[in-house]
Homo-oligomer: A and B are copies of this chain.
Amino acid sequence: MTSYQQHAPSAAVTTATDREIHIERIFNASRDRVFAAWTDPTLIPEWWGPRNTTTIVDKMDVRAGGDYRFVSRNSDGSESGFRGTYREVSPPERIVQTFEWEGMPGHVCVETATFEDLGDRTKVVTTSLFHTTEERHGMLGSGMEGGMNETYARLDELLERLAGAA
């Protein structure tokens, strides 16, 4: 597991249009397993969010029209809520959901995640679409990229543990 912490690959973050953030990342696990980790409420606390936070799944109804809400608790006890609605859930290929940080209520982006089968690896591409360039700018300036790389490194580790347990 240490190897991942030290050598976890960075995700490729690009901004194709002025309202989008596009992220690509390859995981060393089958698509079914990556999709399952992505959508299982009991596994979310194992990987979602930076390492120094604890994630509580308040609600996670993974189906079109279902809502989710995660609470991220920092080491100092402060909490931050994240919520949204699933628009499309097509296992194991595609999820479209809204995303809103409760610290900026009403600023809602749409996240599309696609899972590409590369055999024993999986490419995950997420695209976040914002209403305005300013909102995207806020997200890029929020430390998102570091947090996301940490989150993805934690997902690497979880997938390795699940493979070991299988």
**Interface residues of A, Cβ cutoff 8 Å to B:** 64-65, 84-87, 96-98, 100, 102, 105-108, 110, 129-132
CB-CB nearest in chain B for A102: B65
7 A-B pairs within 8 Å (CB atoms) are namely: A65-B105, A84-B106, A85-B105, A86-B106, A87-B106, A98-B108, A131-B131
Assembly CA distance A106 to B102 (angstroms): 16
Assembly CA distance A29 to B107 (angstroms): 32
* Contact (Cβ within 8 A) B87 A96: no
Contact of A131 among B84, B85, B106, B110 (CB under 8 A): B110
Most buried by B among A64, A97, A106: A106
Assembly CA distance A137 to B23 (angstroms): 28
Chain B neighbourhood of A85, CB < 8 A: 100, 105-106
Contact of A98 among B64, B86, B97, B106 (CB under 8 A): B106
Assembly CA distance A85 to B106 (angstroms): 5
Chain A to chain B: the 6 pairs with minimum beta-carbon distance, closest first: A87-B106, A85-B106, A65-B105, A108-B108, A98-B106, A85-B105
